[in-house]
Amino acid sequence: MNLTGNTILITGGSRGIGRALAEALHDRGNQVIITGRDAAALEALCTQHPGMTGLPLDLRDHASLTQLANRVRIQFPSLNVLIANAGISRPENLASGQWNSHDAEAIIDTNILGVLRTVATFLPLLTQQRHATLMATSSALAFLPLASFPTYCASKAFLHSWLVSLRHQLRHLPVEVLELSPPYVQTALTGAAQASDPRAMPVEEYVQQVLQKLERGDHPRGELLLDRDQPRRWAERDGQYDALFALMNPA
């Protein structure tokens, strides 16, 4: 992916990783459109970054996605990069005796169906461009689950598998399919504490590394994964799955 001169739509662009990507890509001379439910956050970011556009989107609401698509087709017909990044995460205690599927359904609706709906909505526009990129955010946890986040990890494993098939099906079209699999990053994904957790990677540092990898084309099989997460990615192949699972999920 060329890092300049694109028209880029980022879901979940109001905060966290999406916001940092939006700012970095805006600085590199791209037309960036950020979306999310928090209108005030979108507006504040666009004021800070003249030229950036904020458009409302609730991924769980079909009408909202249709409205967004109609507007983008008219206002930004040259859209050539989609970053389907929005997601939510919640811990679940399946053994509590009180577990119900409410959070799991919200995660599946946002992280899986939300991404599928977004891709279905914008793929026709992307395929009209000479070169396009479709990136979706999974997680390093797609390859090895953190058991206290069962549905979240499974949603990212779903995305990983789905993107492999999407990439294969689009192989004769000029649409590059990338999977962004972040490590633990300082955002408010699981609550305010994560944003300052010293064990998590600062978000700007993470995004800089991602842009460097994109610049070098360093994403084998379309996978944008930090080097330090390769052992998790290949744990099963390398016979390390049980050991790494035990490390991440002490008995």
**Interface with ligand NAP (CB under 6 A), residue from 9, 36, 45, 175:** 36
**Interface with ligand NAP (CB under 6 A), residue from 7, 15, 68, 132:** 15
59 binds ligand NAP (CB under 6 A): yes
151 binds ligand NAP (CB under 6 A): no
73 binds ligand NAP (CB under 6 A): no
CB 140 within 8 A of CB 200: no
Size of the site for ligand NAP (CB under 6 A): 29
CA dist 41 → 47, 53, 95 (Å)? 10, 12, 37
**Residues 170-199 as x/- pattern, contact with ligand NAP by CB under 6 A:** ------------x-xx-xxx----------
3-state SS of the chain?
Answer: CCCCCCEEEEECCCCHHHHHHHHHHHHCCCEEEEEECCHHHHHHHHHHCCCCEEEECCCCCHHHHHHHHHHHHHHCCCCCEEEECCCCCCCCCCCCCCCCCHHHHHHHHHHHHHHHHHHHHHHHHHCCCCCEEEEEECCHHHCCCCCCCHHHHHHHHHHHHHHHHHHHHCCCCCEEEEEECCCCECCCCCCHHHHCCCCCECHHHHHHHHHHHHHHCCCHHHEECCHHHHHHHCCCCCCCHHHHHHHHCCC
Please state the closest distance from residue 171 (CB atom) to ligand NAP, in A. 25
38 binds ligand NAP (CB under 6 A): yes
**Interface with ligand NAP (CB under 6 A), residue from 139, 143, 163, 213:** 139
Name residue 81's amino acid. V
Please state the closest distance from residue 27 (CB atom) to ligand NAP, in A. 18
Name residue 143's amino acid. F
Please state the closest distance from residue 188 (CB atom) to ligand NAP, in A. 5
Residues with a catalytic annotation lie at: 152
54 binds ligand NAP (CB under 6 A): no
81-120 positions binding ligand NAP, by CB under 6 A: 85-89, 110
Please state the closest distance from residue 229 (CB atom) to ligand NAP, in A. 10
Please state the closest distance from residue 187 (CB atom) to ligand NAP, in A. 3
Residue nearest to ligand NAP (CB): 16
* Binding residues vs ligand NAP (CB under 6 A): 11-12, 14-18, 36-38, 41, 57-60, 85-89, 110, 137, 139, 182, 184-185, 187-189
